[in-house]
Amino acid sequence: MAEFSIIDQYFKRASKSDVSLGIGDDSAIVTPAPSQQLVICTDILVAGRHFPLDTTAHAIGWKSVAVNLSDLAAMGAKPHSILLALSLPTVDHGWLAGFSQGLFDCCDQFGVSLIGGDTTQNSQLTITVTALGWIEHGQAITRSSAQVGDYICVSGQVGDAAFGLKHPGHALQQRLDYPTPRCNLGQQLKGLASSMIDVSDGLAQDLGHILKASNVGAKLQLDQLPIDESLKKLEKQQAWHYALAGGDDYELCFTISPQNFEKLLRQQLDVPLTIIGKITQQTGLSFVYMGENHPLAVQGYQHFA
């Protein structure tokens, strides 16, 4: 089947009104809104490395979009559109139908258009999505502005996806296959959060990126980690490993002053928030359990392990 037939059959749809030129030409053209900055991110998903080989096509399509929208959310940006680069071992019409449906289901839920990309044949299934979003000039939330005394907060639950990966068929596998990018929360945190990151490689490792960029430290309260009842039944060290090192949750971890946290709570939030620690002057990440320092060695996902 020809490349352009695949595009026309599975991926060509009408775009938003501010997309002057979408799928079908050498490049897409988008008209920016006044006083907006363009936020851009990209993620690669490789079969057998970023998702199990038996993952459904619909779930792969959903996740390929969701993980990118999560990166936009971590900057406080409003998602706008995506580009898709798809490498296929073979042309499987059943798989393409399920994949494209999952991709568009995620796009539709978050108001996103597919505006271009590329397809080719390759021995391994590889999906690369580039996501575009808008944010008001100077309002982007970065990793580098955490302040001493800030709360460290996380949305939703952590450890769910890692547990689901190790326990196929468990209800938490849904959190692995269908992550929810916290787009609304990210936009609500503009002007309030001092720094932010999404939890993709493990809470401890991702929080460490904030600490390094901001040149600060943190005390993390192990007994405050928001974990599922399934994890609470495990031995504590195992539960902490899922929550701190598992990754793939795509929740938002952010720092915020106590005063701004009170302001945030006055808004209508669509996801629970938990204070899990505090930013300190002394650099490094330390763990506290029941009021006492608790040494813990944690390593998150390694992209080149």
Indicate the annotated binding residues for ATP.
117-118, 143, 200
Residue numbers in the known binding site are 26, 42-43, 50, 71, 117-118, 143, 198, 200-201, 248, 301
The most distant pair of C-alpha atoms in the chain lies apart, rounded to whole Å, by 63
Residue numbers in the known binding site for Mg(2+) are 26, 42-43, 71, 118, 198, 201
Q: Which residues pair with 189 in a beta bridge?
A: none
**Counting every residue, how long is the chain?**
305
Helices 3-10 and 93-109, axial angle in degrees (round to 10):
50
**Cα–Cα distance, 167 to 33 (Å, whole number):** 45
Is residue 122 a contact partner of residue 85, using CB atoms and an 8 Å limit?
no
Q: From residue 262, give the alpha-carbon distance in Å to each of 53, 186, 187, 194.
A: 44, 16, 16, 14
Residue numbers in the known binding site for substrate are 50, 248, 301
Is residue 256 a contact partner of residue 193, using CB atoms and an 8 Å limit?
yes
Q: Exposed (0-12), middle (13-18) or buried (19+): which is 206, by Cβ within 10 Å? A: buried
Which one-letter amino acid corresponds to residue 121?
Q
Is residue 115 a contact partner of residue 81, using CB atoms and an 8 Å limit?
yes
**Cα–Cα distance, 293 to 49 (Å, whole number):** 35
Helices 93-109 and 57-73, axial angle in degrees (round to 10):
30
